[in-house]
Amino acid sequence: MATAAPASRNDSVAPRRSSGGGLLSPAFLDELRHRTLLSSLIGRTTKLQKAGREFKACCPFHNEKSPSFYVNDEKGFYHCFGCGAHGDAIRWMTEARGLPFMDAVKELAGTAGLELPAPDPAARARSERATGLVGLTEAAATFYRKQLDSIEGADARAYLDRRGLGAHAREAFGLGFAPDSRTRLKSAIEGAKVDDLVEAGLLIRPDDAGREPYDRFRGRLMIPIRDARGRTIAFGGRILAAGEPKYLNSPETPLFDKGRTLYNLDRAGPVARKSGRAILVEGYLDVIALDQAGIAEAMAPLGTALTEAQMARLWSLVDAPILCFDGDAAGRKASLRAAERALAVLRPGKTLKFALLPPGKDPDDIVREGGAEAFEAAIADPVPLDVLLYQSERDGIDAARPEARAGLRARLTELAESCTDKLVAEEYKRAFTALFFEDFGWKKEERRTIASAILKTETQAQPIDLTRSFTRILLWGFSRYPDMIGEHLEALSGLAIVDDHLARWRDVLVAHVIAHGALDDDAIAAILATAQLPEVLRTRIDRDLLMPWTRSGTDRRLAMEQLAGTLEVMAAEREHQVQHDMLNAEALVATSEGDEDRFITIEAERAQLRDEQEALIEMAVRLGEPVEESRQG
């Protein structure tokens, strides 16, 4: 199967700057790609089958039963026709292996026998310095692992036994023990300079210049923190006896930037890409417990609020990571803080979801009590980001007061506008408006009553047309209250009306308001009569007289409330039509080969209906506001 190289957001970008400021030329990167046999590189971890001049496989980036992932050695790219994953050798290393760009280039260059362009002397010194520090942290990890098996490590082993963490977990995560001594590590790493051990975060230098540096971690269970390449760059230590802090992390070092690092990224990253699911929990032991239970996509931040850089790391794995923090006040607060922080960096297609655990429970508790099945059930229906934010803001107000509801809408608008991407900000405004209307729009029971009444008024001799009935009632309401037309011209003008008579009715109203501004009842009646629409006004109006706004003398507040309710019913009908069209489209694609034009047409119609529904919801909210304020005032 011959394939072309479609443009893709996954193409690698060149040239790139190294961390030291050296520029990798396009010529160098092209030579690196030329010397890398892509099928051999990908074949190390993915089973490829020969398919003509190419290779095919089940895509490593998403679950599928039949192969749609192709590798083309001649053109040097891979492409998945299922999920759109696309790239070259460098992209494979960054996406499938999770390596930073420069690390990917270095590894490929080493295999291909190419030397990287020499960086400037300062950058070379920093690189060599970091390499030396990695040697120290790896040596420390080896020392701590040995101590866990020693006599002194008995308490640490007993603690792990109580937590149900067996030999597999201890080996996979490199768990260890730091003896309760100020000098054991310093003495164990032979030949290491004290200044280097301090810089690596392994020793603490006292403020008193007369005192010797001493071991940072003492009497603690030791948990190595690794980078995306699996190298130990820092540690987390849990105290075993009484004392504070309960957990102690390495300080910031040339190796370790805690705001850009995720615990277990090296092991969980490839699994997350394959499964399409990434789970973020609060602590090291939550991650280890989940992994031991067979849930290998779990990672954790490192004692800080989730940062934008960590979100970017997660989004490089999956589009919608699941945050599963502890089921207490602190966990809830951490979820909200992450949600608010995410808004500024959201991009189309990227989001967060939130699994809210039972009060007092953390992931470790759940898997210990009920195993993997209990945890899967707990995260099966995560809360979307917009819903979490909305519910948090809504629950913090006195919803009975109109000024509180107005404040809620202002706060929701503020949150939506904090999205720096304009498309995302617009969609969040719409989502918040819909959620607000669902809670504070017209009562659902009364909406059902209206729908039922409309159904009863339709004749049984012909098919029921809810959309036409709702449209007629809507236009009658605006004709009775013409001062409302100017406030809703845009939504009213954009309303799709199939019936020619009703469309002309709407167009006459809109055109005259645009030309003459606000109009009174008599003016509207005269305009409609002049436009030869009296028959439209009389048609079946007797059936609509059950609606309050069609009756003379009806209280305006009640009429506006009922009109808002009718708008919402109409929006619901639009949503039903959207779903109906989508099912038809899916059926069409399943039964008709090559009929892509028809599918595209249906998708466009569906998008138009969605926009119309959202406009109706917005209009209904605005119509309902004066009613709420009058009733409460």
For residues 177 and 441, the model is more confident at 177
User: Contact 345/379 with Cβ under 8 angstroms?
Assistant: no
For residues 217 and 109, the model is more confident at 217
What percent of the chain is helix, strand and coil (3-state, nearest 5)? Answer: 55, 10, 35
pLDDT in tens, 126-138: 666 777 799 999 9
Q: In this predicted structure, what is the pLDDT of residue 617? A: 54
Strands 69-72 and 77-80: antiparallel
- Backbone torsions φ then ψ of 215, nearest 5 degrees: -60, 130
pLDDT in tens, 281-291: 999 999 999 99
Angle between the 422-440 and 385-395 helix axes, to the nearest 10 degrees?
50
Chain-centroid distance, C-alpha 190: 47
Residues 6+ apart with CB under 8 A from 494: 611, 612, 615
Q: In this predicted structure, what is the pLDDT of residue 627? A: 36
- How would you class 264 by CB atoms within 10 Å of its CB: exposed for 0-12, middle for 13-18, buried for 19 or more? buried
pLDDT in tens, 94-127: 888 878 888 888 889 888 888 887 666 666 666 6
End-to-end CA distance of the chain: 71
pLDDT in tens, 484-507: 777 667 667 767 777 777 787 788
Residue spans of beta strands (DSSP E) within 153-286: 176-178, 203-204, 214-215, 220-226, 232-239, 247-249, 279-280
CA-to-CA separations, 263 to 219, 233, 256, 409, in angstroms, rounded:
22, 11, 12, 38
Q: In this predicted structure, what is the pLDDT of residue 114? A: 81
Residues 6+ apart with CB under 8 A from 382: 322, 353, 354, 355
Q: In this predicted structure, what is the pLDDT of residue 400? A: 86
- Euclidean distance between CA atoms 458 and 469, whole angstroms: 9
DSSP string covering 56-87: EES-TTS--SS--EEEETTTTEEEETTT--EE
Nearest one of 621, 623, 630, 633 to 441, comparing CA atoms: 621
The DSSP H or E segment spanning 353 is: strand 353-354
Q: Which range is least confidently modeled, 303-312, 422-431, 474-483, 513-522?
A: 513-522
The DSSP H or E segment spanning 307 is: none
Task: Enumerate domains of the chain plus CATH numbers.
Answer: 26-112 (3.90.580.10), 121-256 (3.90.980.10), 272-440 (3.40.1360.10), 444-632 (no CATH)
Task: Work out the average pLDDT over 21-40.
Answer: 78
- Euclidean distance between CA atoms 79 and 39, whole angstroms: 12
Q: Residue 619 above 90 pLDDT?
A: no
Strand partners, 55: 50, 71
Q: In this predicted structure, what is the pLDDT of residue 567? A: 59
- Euclidean distance between CA atoms 246 and 258, whole angstroms: 18
- Euclidean distance between CA atoms 428 and 423, whole angstroms: 9
Q: In this predicted structure, what is the pLDDT of residue 438? A: 79
DSSP string covering 381-414: SPEEHHHHHHHHHHHTS-TTSHHHHHHHHHHHHH
Residues 6+ apart with CB under 8 A from 156: 148, 177, 221, 240
Q: Residue 321 above 90 pLDDT?
A: yes
Strand partners, 214: 204
- CB neighbours (10 Å) of residue 380? 8
- Euclidean distance between CA atoms 348 and 351, whole angstroms: 8
